[in-house]
Structure 1
Amino acid sequence: MPRFSIIVPARNAQRHLRTCLESVLSQSFGEVQLIVVDAGSTDHTAAIATEFTRLDPRVLLLTSRRTGDEDAALRLGADRASGEYLLLLSADDVLTPHALEVLDRALTAAKDPQVLVFAHRTDDWQGRPQQLRGVVPPSRSDDGGTAGPAARPALLRLPPLRANRVLRRDFCAPNGPGPFPGADPEPVFAYRSLLDAETVATTPELCLVRRVQRDPRVPATERRCDPASLKGFEELLTRVQGDPALARLVLERMVRTVLDELARPGSASRSETAAFFRAAADSCARWRRFTAGGLPGLGGLRARGVLTGSRPAFLAGQALDRARKRLLESRERIGRRATGQAVKVARRVGGMLPIRRDLALYCSYWGASTGSNPGAIHARARQLAPGVRGVWVLTQKGAETVPPGTDHVLLRSPKFWWYVTRAGWLVTNSGLGLVHPKRPGQRFLMTHHGTPLKKMGLDQLDHPACSAKVNWNRLMGMVGQWDFSLSSNRHSTEVWDRVFPGTFESLEAGYPRNDVLATADAAEVLRVRAELGIPAGTTAILYAPTHRDHQREFRLQLDLARLCRALGEGFTLLVRAHYFYGEDAVLSDLQRRGLVRDVSLHPCVEELMLAADALVTDYSSILFDYADLDRPIVVHAPDWEVYRETRGVYFDLLSGRPGETPGLVTADEDTLAHAFRSGAWDSGHSAGLRAAFRERFCTHDDGLAAERVVRTLFLGGQEVPPVLPLAGRAHAPSPREAQRLVAEEAAVIGRQGDRSGAAAMDARTDTRAHQ
């Protein structure tokens, strides 16, 4: 018997059905039955599902005779389900990676409850994540089973969906105690699942992503404004009438459903709409005793009209809502025009005033932070060139995370355009959003934010997976404004010059953000480890995978739970997801279980490198930075061929040739764990490869890069320090070296204290003898 039976009713769903089914069948947890029910599709829906039945025996395709009836399709699928638990998805839904593994673990921990509710997220039609919804932190009454409906008000306030919960099949059987799939409208089904269940569990893990269609006006296939849909709410209200608080929640949801139905365009006639309104008003009249003082979250004439049965009040509310919407749209248009005029004024007036050579504008990661190379340059400029004022360009979200008092302007605000036309220096590692040429006399430094292993700039044209959405005219227009392009080695200099053709000067000075990797002392290394909670004496492994252009969501290339078990005691795993991705459910769960430390949101990646005894990465540019520390690097590359074909690379990272491969290479968890248990990760062979790699790519990162940039830009090239040779260059001590150095320093201080104490005692003895 499979653990899960997943039912997907589909009607003309060819657009997203394949993605939905792949998200189920690619799960790490394989005990699943996938039932697709075709509800009379006229497109390629059935053909797509048939294709999956040939590829995977876990897929079952059924055909419903009731065209367009999703409820009938759900009932048919539930009749053929054989799993312990049911999960009811829409063809537009996608399971997050490892979602079934997370759900199985939560169900087991809660001793197989009848219902498990989990979090979901909604993506807009462009695939942009919206706010996380339905997150319920487990409470004392929800940590494995709730006592009754009165203990579940928080759950009843969640979005009433079929897809954000799994239900035990015997609970949802035709003669079971719970609701049968397809027998009730979706909100009624969702409420009944919670009210009928004796045991309910919750997990705050994100397991589902819902996709919003681009055009919400597309008519739904089910019949609109059907008075029969109100019967389910009437039954629920009858059941909970003894609890006024619950009754008010259910009544509020019924009124919201009615308002949504009346507002949704479709095929319902005026007479059908009027009949539906009268039926809803009659239902509300029967339960009016629960509406004293109004319903929480419901106000306005439309809701009052439904509750009181006054159709004129409802129509007046509709007209008022339309007028209010038009007014808001007008205000937004006026606001945009006013902002546009303010921008024009700021640009025009600022452009007439002289350029300020004492003003530098900094931007890092498109306004998300104040770190990386621009941050290190700004910090050094405050010491060496205090007369140059630094102002940061930040997004609204970025401004919320920087230290209080940071001098900044919001990206593309009128104040931003004022500063961008006045600043003598523009320093960024990404882009400043400039849509007009910089003024003569301004100087633009592009610092970049990594050494290129993957194809960049014009070299991406042969790899459409990563270049299809690039606005090349805008990109080359920005390149045309660069005066300096910062580089940390000859390889980068050659690549930047070729892929970003322009008239800029290559500034081969090193990466300022890496200065701390050369200058940090033993105390700094141990401080960072202590703040991260790394136990003394353990080996800290930093795992930092890169972004993959062919994947929308973050997917761990390692089974971290398995790796932790294989490593055993004595290792601490720090995991840093790429900044392109949001929160990962599996990673959060692993941290909660104490297996890993999720450091994805740590503000300073350089501190993470200082704390780590070794780096495990795939194709991330962090391996070039970490090589500055001369600590072991393990390249974990299970999908090298796919990455090389989709993104393109400049050299074969896995070749084993000196100067290309920085250390040991692995492709699975067992090999990786064995490398650390056996000591191969820190072998002489790995050290030799790392030395050749450092000789090629770490030529300028000597701890003085920021000073070289500041003196070149702001101080007219005076006293620019030369690059220190690699052989005689210092770098931050490894954690083991740092522990030894601190212990030796403490011992020296202790011996000095002993000698001082002995000398003082001798002096006192001589004094007493003299007396």
Structure 2
Amino acid sequence: MQPSLSVIVYGRNVQGHLDESLDAICLDDPGADVEVIVAAVGPSAQRVAEVHAARDPRILPVALPQDTTDAAARAAGAEQATGRWLQFVRSKDALPPGAQRAVAEHTGGLPDSVDVLLFDHVRSTWNSQGAAGRDSRVLAKAGPAPVALTDFPGLLRVAPLLGNRALRAEFWHAHAAEFRAPHPSGPHGAGPEPPTDDELFAAYATLLCSTAVACFGHVCLDHRQLRPASLPPPTPEELYAQIGQYEDVQRLMAVSGAPAALRAALYDVMVSEWLRIIARGGLSEPLVREFFHRASRAAVAWRPEGHARPAGLGGVQRSLLEQDAYVKYRLLQAANHRQHKARSALATRKRKVRAKVGARVRDFRYHRELRRPVDPCLAVFSAYWDRGVACNPAAIAAELARLAPHIHPVWTVSAAREPLVPPGTDHVVAGTRRYWEVMARARYFVNNVNFPGAVVKRPEAVHVMTHHGTPLKRMGLDQREYPAVSKGFNFRGLLARVDKWDYSVSANSHSTEVWEHAYPAHYTSLDYGYPRNDVFYRAGAADILAIREKLGIAPGRTAILYAPTHRDYEATWTPRLDLASLAERLGEDTVILVRGHYFYSGAAAPPAWLRRSGRIIDVSSYDPVEELALASDAMVTDYSSIMFDYANLDRPIVVYADDWETYAKTRGVYFDLMEEAPGRIARTQDELAEIFTSGAWRDETAAKARAAFRRRFCEFDDGHAAERVVRRVFLGESEESLPPVVPIDERTPAPTPEEAAPR
């Protein structure tokens, strides 16, 4: 059966990246209607291709000699491809999770008149991953409807890569000769970087020869930019070839009779790119001077008649380029740099002066308020660095209103989060005049993180640290041995803030011991449980059904909450699961609730039909998270502390630990989760899917592990934590008078969604 898409990975094994690129393809959605052709240039690439072909029957290796050009490698791969659409991917680049399926599905719905599908891409470097470019704006402006290039010349501004487009196979074969540049650039087979060859020309030629182009906002390519220092410096011929590439495209436009609007659009892109090369530095003066002269001749030769230069500095630079006025250009550049530096220095001085004056005014007002008496009925609440009403502080504030209504709570929030504060909640915006008045006069301070260091601890004030999770990862002073998280951290400042604590709320003995070691100071540990978890023992069937209805979970469906944590060793977020593929494996009766930032990255966004069907629901911004736990039948997480809270519900938990060793080594952990997990463990996505499809997620082995986990980490949580905190801290009651902790075997968690469903 003819596949929808042929992904053609071509070139040499550049700096060993081919292996990881094929790894991503092998692990990603084996059920997608896709074949993979590896046009492997040279022995190293051939060995990698053969190893992966042995693992994945979708991969077909094509062995090519070491001196094969990129254009020849693409052609060889295309000859073996049988898909209706083709995507050419350099051997150093990669496809994000779900990209293969997304392209295959989208092209399947396009009319026959469309020859090219343009989609978004991200850029990765040696020290960062997934940086978005500017193409998304152009693609969004073009819209999803097919369009002729002559009607939307702006598509020429999309990055000239072959990997960020899919080509109809018939179209490719019909125009293959036109897609090869008459003057390919770059030394073939030299250095660790594959030859630049004619990709730029081929990318533009695909658009110029097309009847219609469709645009797709999904990220379907990760374009890896190699570290410049790892590459040999460009030869003069390689540098000048960047002029020749654009001239070849201009010749193609002239031969095909392209309209003036297209030629003008390409001209703007071309000249902007040349000016960028001239300005970026790192090249010898004679080389840049000669590049300038050659670019000048080309700019004059190809400038469309009557084409207007842009206004401002860009227009002046173009004028100097066309005049071949290199000395004047350098003088302008130097003057512009000096002016920019002077403006930047002036702006910095102004900011410092404003900050200094503001700090002095703030300090004066704050210290004036500190001379006034403490208000014994004023309490300040904050959570997650002023994000709003949430977590343990919110649960304590709610119980305070019931047991001690004479105490007035005021929440501190950031300006950006103020619109999200519940109506009727007294609050102050951090840094404002009233904020410092409240901070000066309040008696009680409740937070799940530290208050700012500038806050003075008055003798009468009572500070309650509630924390916001049970620690698996190293915390406080225990982070000092792990540079991935501790580099540049001010531990002295941390201890100064910890010294203000009067009470530290704990959910279990493990946490109490960790806090005392990680935050050594003179405070009292309140081994009362986490107030935010009280709801897990107080919610009823009606509450759970109402939450599920609000989330749009259809009756009878199994809801899985997916809540991963942050990796300190990653510069940016990296998708760890292909949610679309997982949803397909789990079937129509399963809903995945995704708690995180994943749908804000095109690399992770599931197909629209999956979202419309309600099988994947983005709950990243849904609060409170405790409601998501109540609404779900099971949870998948990696190393997030949410697992400790969720265990109170005595519902299945599956740990997805694809990078446990790396996480444990770089972040530091207090115990081996692989030995003390709250349920089943998956190390790959296939294992994760198998755990659910086989029923292992809720079998006897999983239940036994969960029971041991609950006994250790849900020690004090019984539904009365907030009451104990309020009675002890705000009402001054003795320990003996507080409600005793209910033994775990005598507790009854909230009903599961299945138990809550009407019979």
Structure 2 CA distance for partners of 1:629 and 1:124, relative to 1, 3 Å: same
Q: How does 1:88-167 map to 2 (within 5 A)?
A: 88-89=89-90, 95-110=95-110, 114-122=115-123, 127=128, 130-131=131-132, 133-135=134-136, 146=146, 148-153=148-153, 155-167=155-167
1:338 maps to 353
Match of 1:533 in 2: 552
Q: How far did 1:337 drift? A: 1.4
- 1:231 is displaced (CA, Å) by 1.8
Spell out the pairing of 1:724-739 with structure 2 (5 A cutoff).
725-726=742-743, 729=747, 731-739=749-757
* Matching residue's letter, 1:610: L
Indicate the SS of the match to 2:273. helix
Give runs of aligned pairs for residues 141-220 of structure 1, distance below 5 A: 146=146, 148-153=148-153, 155-167=155-167, 176=176, 178-180=178-180, 182=184, 189-198=202-211, 200-209=213-222
- Tell me the SS of whatever aligns to 1:588: coil
Report the CA distance between 1:258 and its aligned residue: 3.5
Query: CA distance change for structure 1 residues 690 and 185 in 2, over 3 Å: closer, same or farther?
Result: closer
Q: 1:723 to 1:151 in 2, by over 3 A?
A: farther
Deviation at 1:700, TM superposition (A): 3.1
Identity %: 35
Decide whether the 8 Å contact of 1:146 with 1:200 is kept in 2: yes
Q: CA deviation at 1:611?
A: 1.0
1:4 aligns with 2:11: no
**1:97/1:555 contact within 8 Å kept:** no
Question: Is the Cα contact below 8 Å between 1:363 and 1:370 reproduced in 2?
Answer: yes
On the 8 A contact 2:547/2:627 being kept in 1, the answer is yes
The TM-score with structure 2 as length reference comes to 0.75
Mapped to 1, the partners of 2:485 and 2:289 lie a distance apart of: 53
Structure 1 residue 289 and structure 2 residue 306: aligned?
A: yes
Distance 1:388 1:641 in 2: 47
Q: Which residue of 2 aligns with 1:353?
A: 368
Higher RCO (CA 8 Å, separation ≥ 6 residues): 2
TM-score normalised over the length of structure 1 = 0.74
Give, in angstroms, the shift of residue 335 of structure 1: 3.3
Question: Which of the numbers 263, 270, 290 marks the counterpart of 1:254?
Answer: 270
CA displacement at 1:465 relative to structure 2: 6.5
Q: Which amino acid aligns with 1:506?
A: S
Partner-residue secondary structure (3-state), 2:464: strand
Amino acid corresponding to residue 3 of structure 1 in structure 2? S
Shift of 1:534: 0.8
Unmatched 5+ residue regions in structure 2? 54-60, 186-196
Deviates more, 1:492-501 or 1:548-557: 548-557
User: Equivalent residue for 1:453?
Assistant: 472
Deviations 1:446-485 (A, max 9, x none): 3222122344445556767666776655555544444332
**Match for 2:630 among 610, 613, 629?**
610
Structure 2 residue identity aligned to 1:288:
E
**8 Å CA contact 1:225, 1:268 repeated in 2:** no
Structure 2 CA distance for partners of 1:251 and 1:674, relative to 1, 3 Å: closer
**Does residue 279 in structure 1 map to residue 297 in structure 2?**
yes
Separation (CA, whole Å) in 1 of partners of 2:427 and 2:123: 35
Equivalenced residues, count: 709
Say whether 1:267 aligns with 2:284.
Answer: yes
* SS of residue matched to 1:503: coil
Q: Is the 8 A contact 1:368 1:398 kept in 2?
A: yes
Letter in 1 for 2:631: A
Q: CA deviation at 1:498?
A: 2.3
Contact 1:575 1:599 in 2 (8 A): yes
- Equivalent residue for 2:191? none
Structure-to-structure mapping, 1:615-764, within 5 angstroms: 615-635=635-655, 649-651=669-671, 662-663=678-679, 690-691=706-707, 693-716=709-732, 721-723=738-740, 725-726=742-743, 729=747, 731-740=749-758
Shift in Å, 1:530: 1.2
Name the CA shift for 1:271/1:477 in 2 (closer, same or farther; >3 Å). same
Residues 225-280 of structure 1: per-residue CA shift (max 9 Å, x gap): 97545523533653687645434422322332243233233235375255246425
Distance 1:735 1:4 in 2: 43
Preserved CA contact (<8 Å) 1:136 1:203: no
| Cα 1:433/1:695, change in 2 over 3 Å | same
Helix, strand or coil for the counterpart of 1:585? coil
Asked if structure 2 preserves the Cα contact closer than 8 Å seen for 1:588 and 1:598, the reply is no
CA RMSD, Structure 1 to Structure 2 (Å): 5.1
Pairing 1:181-580 to 2, within 5 Å after superposition:
182=184, 189-198=202-211, 200-209=213-222, 222-223=238-239, 228-232=244-248, 234-235=250-251, 238=254, 243-265=259-281, 266-267=283-284, 269=286, 272=290, 275-276=293-294, 278-283=296-301, 286-291=303-308, 300-303=315-318, 318=333, 321-342=336-357, 344-346=359-361, 348-349=363-364, 352-355=367-370, 357=375, 362-367=381-386, 370-381=389-400, 384=404, 387-394=407-414, 407-409=427-429, 426-432=445-451, 434=453, 443-457=462-476, 459=478, 472=491, 475-476=494-495, 478-547=497-566, 564-565=583-584, 567-577=586-596
Give me the whole-angstrom Cα distance separating, in 2, the residues matched to 1:5 and 1:115.
16
Match of 1:599 in 2: 619
| Structure 2 match to 1:26 | 24
Q: Distance in 2 between matches of 1:341 and 1:189?
A: 56
Work out the CA distance in 2 between the residues paired with 1:482 and 1:730.
Answer: 33
- Matched with 1:42 is none
Distance (Å, rounded) in 2 between the aligned partners of 1:419 and 1:178 = 72
Structure 2: how far apart are the matches of 1:522 and 1:435? 46
Q: Contact 2:121/2:132 (CA < 8 Å) preserved in 1? A: no
The worse-fitting range, judged by mean Cα deviation, of 262-271 and 482-491 is 262-271
Mapped partners of 1:367, 1:392: distance in 2: 6
The 8 Å contact of residues 5 and 87 in structure 1, kept in 2 or not, is answered as: yes
What is the rounded CA distance, in whole Å, between the counterparts of 2:336 and 2:437 in structure 1? Answer: 39
- After superposition, the Cα gap between the structure-2 partners of 1:623 and 1:139, relative to the gap in structure 1 and judged at 3 Å, is closer
AA aligned to 1:4 is V
**Residue 589 (structure 1) aligns with:** 607
The CA distance in 2 between the partners of 1:186 and 1:108, in whole Å, is 26
The residue type paired with residue 627 of structure 2 is E
The answer (yes or no) to whether the contact 1:451–1:492 under 8 Å persists in 2 is yes
Residue 329 of structure 1, CA deviation: 0.8
Give the superposition deviation at 1:528.
1.5
Which residue identity is paired with 2:622? H
The answer as to whether partners of 1:540 and 1:573 remain within 8 angstroms in 2 is: yes
Give how far 1:86 is off: 5.0
2-structure distance, mates of 1:638, 1:259: 45
2:353 and 2:507 map into 1 onto residues whose CA distance is: 44
Counterpart secondary structure, 2:536: helix
| Higher mean C-alpha deviation, range 497-506 or range 122-131 | 122-131
Question: What is the one-letter code of the residue matched to 1:335?
Answer: K
Q: Distance in 1 between matches of 2:262 and 2:538?
A: 62
Q: Matched residues in 2 for 1:507 and 1:488: separation?
A: 9
* Shift, 1:179, TM fit: 2.7
SS at match of 1:3: strand
Find the aligned partners of 1:22 and 1:549 in 2 and give their Cα distance: 21
Residue in 1 that maps onto 2:88: 87
Partner of 1:766: none
Q: Write the distance in 1 (CA, Å) between the matches of 2:652 and 2:313.
A: 61
Tell me the SS of whatever aligns to 2:208: helix
- Partner secondary structure for residue 624 of structure 1: helix
Q: For residue 336 of structure 1, give the secondary structure of its aligned residue in structure 2.
A: helix
